[in-house]
Chains A and B, each alone.
Chain A
């Protein structure tokens, strides 16, 4: 960032923005009248936006690191659940259904990455954002011209990072401790992963927008997360669920995220249909969340 500003040439045309001209006040010139907006080239706007986005993301990352409880939770929780689950399903295989014969842990490891994404999107993010709103942090940002897209974009990017940590923890543990197959298509898993974080970040912002308080956001988020936990193949295997629970699962985003992760992981290729569904849910939810977003 440049510390010094160029003074405009006397009587010169406004150079880009009006700021330089405004400084005339300190150089003894008469303060200028407000100048009309000089619309910068779109790419310049995009660069400025990207800078703010990255700076917000960097600061949010540092804040997350300074609050170790959140980080430990997103890291330790999935590992803990995986250990418990491994104790239950250890060497069993799926009997029946589309994935008959698959080792259960080959299903659960990628599907738990989905669960991590869901927990960050439906619980951590809404609580974080609505706490910011309650305390007046969002007001402060808004008054200084932080755009909602930079704010939400930074939450998404931090979410990607946090989920990545959880995903790596689960994968490493699964592969080394439970002999889970190494992902066949890492690119395919990455597609499902990014689409999943996108969809659940948007859902998290939506919950934050709808919930009146941080406490309410936590309650609503946990409820959504719990329902999805049981009907998306992330607890009991899907084949053991009654038809109505499977139908409920398919109507919620986590099921689709799970399939988008499990399929490429196990060599079924990228499930374009499911990944597209996840991306579509993300897009629709983003538009809805942006329309309903409240700064205070």
Chain B
């Protein structure tokens, strides 16, 4: 991912309340970074989807929030990592309507649309790391 990391905060994702905490921390970060209300809502929604994925599919993990700069540009980077079973078919997992969990299968593809950059590293049996950025 392009850019220089300025500051970070790591939050655990071990249960349903942690998903709510992640949403609330991302809201604080995006407010402080002066994203518009619509942008804040998109970033918080993406964080909620990805945190739930980490919990449901990755059997829990953590997220690292980072303030990232690239020249004059500033953005928020969110990196969700778990040591779960991994994603066997990333292309399939990104397609709308594909679900193995309780959701509607919009989590991964939907959150990719809500962010500017989106990267998935996954290995069967080792875990998954999803890193995404929204620039200001």
Q: Does A associate with B in a complex?
A: no
Chain B residues in contact with chain A, CB under 8 A?
none
